[in-house]
Amino acid sequence: MNDLPPTSPAHRANSRVTRRSVIGAVGAVAAGAVITPTVMASTDDSETANTAADDTKAGTTTETFPKTRSEAATGEAPVEAAFPIGYVGVRWGGTDETTGGGIRLRDADGGQGEWRALGDGGCSVANGGGLLIAADRAAGYELKAPDGATGLRSLALDTRHGPGRKVTVPSDPTRVRGVEYLSRAAWGADESLRFKADGTENSPTAFYPFQTLTVHHTAMANDDPDPAATVRAIYQLHAVTNDWGDIGYHFLIDEAGRIYEGRYSGDDGLPAHDADGKLVTAFHVGGFNSGNLGIALLGTFTEQGAKEAARESLTRLVKVLVRQHGVDPQARVTYTNPVNGTQKDVAEISGHRDWMATECPGEVMYQELDRLRTAVAGGR
């Protein structure tokens, strides 16, 4: 879903940008907007990693995250997994609709749950991706393909109970201009998922000037008991199953207001950007990604709004980004794709549905975008 094919020479030319001082470069983008850099972390999948050595590094500590376990399947035949299934990823072709589709979970004792609809498709189906459905430690599942669907594929996922994976993370909170966020390492991102079997990066980073900001919801269950595990599941679905090479969003926000760093943008500690303040291309609005920053709220907001903590974090984060890039949050702009010249008139702060046919970010959240724009503008 990148706007530039991963194999394009032009794309690869932008994939490894030489980075200058973070503070100085951002100051050139927005005078006086000082960005506090964070420490990017390293990952070691070996359970026997020398954690004592890691703990001696200045500003870092070692945490253990579960290694993601997955099992892929095709078609509608019943699926069983050798681990407790936390999520089921479902992907198909032929239609963006979910009508007629369903899933039925099976517990460890063989008991079958009720068939339930796949949902409205939310964000990722319309974006060329797939659904991610919470499975509550099911032992197996059975699927019905949506009407007109072809090539039904599914993925059983466990992002909570796998073998331990040692990760070096910043010991102090990471912040961008005072707004605290969890770095990729801090939510347990397995950086190996960004690479192909031959060691090449699946979707090398490409950077373009910021133009717009788009709000999404993940169309998943509300009241999530383990949002970091959900972020890891979304990452697996996007990076591997969808073959995007990384998570599709630049930032994600859970119901408690925690902000998660999304798409990898380098190791200089400036999330979502290079040292010149250009935005890394992510995968959240197919055909309109380059220069378009995507923020996803965890949950479904078609009939209810986001919790106050999530709203407050969204407002703070957007305010920082608006100031950094010097744009009017209440303006309408003509987005121009720097890769292929495609144009679209949108609000500076838009919802996913402003770009294509989708329910995202949910009817209630979409109606709140005017309030977001006003709140951000009031603090400029």
Q: Where are the domains of the chain?
A: 9-62+171-378, 69-158
If one counts every other C-beta atom within 10 angstroms of the C-beta of residue 173, the result is: 12
For residue 270, which of 29, 46, 90 has the smallest C-alpha distance? 29
* Topology adopted by domain 9-62+171-378: Lysozyme-like (3.40.80)
| CATH classification (class only), 69-158 | mainly beta
For residue 187, which of 265, 247, 137, 275 has the smallest C-alpha distance? 247
Within the chain, which residues score under 50 in pLDDT? 4-57
pLDDT at position 35 is 30
Contacts of 238 (CB under 8 A, 6+ apart): 124, 129, 244, 246, 247, 248, 283
If one counts every other C-beta atom within 10 angstroms of the C-beta of residue 345, the result is: 9
Contact 352, 284 (CB under 8 A): yes
| Alpha helices in the chain, H assignment, sequence order | 9-13, 22-29, 51-55, 227-236, 308-325, 363-367, 369-378
| Coil, strand or helix at 369 | helix
If one counts every other C-beta atom within 10 angstroms of the C-beta of residue 321, the result is: 26
Rounded to the nearest 5°, which phi and psi values hold at 74? -130, 150
Q: How far apart are CA 303 and CA 320, in angstroms?
A: 29
* Residue 55: both structure tokens together: 């703990």
Q: Rounded to two decimals, what is the model's pTM?
A: 0.84
* Residue 65: both structure tokens together: 């995250």
For residue 61, which of 30, 39, 89 has the smallest C-alpha distance? 39
105-122: per-residue pLDDT in tens? 999 888 999 999 987 656
pLDDT at position 170 is 87
For residue 131, which of 176, 172, 107, 101 has the smallest C-alpha distance? 101
| Coil, strand or helix at 152 | strand
Is 69-158 the same fold as 9-62+171-378?
no
* Residue 337: both structure tokens together: 């794709």
pLDDT at position 129 is 73
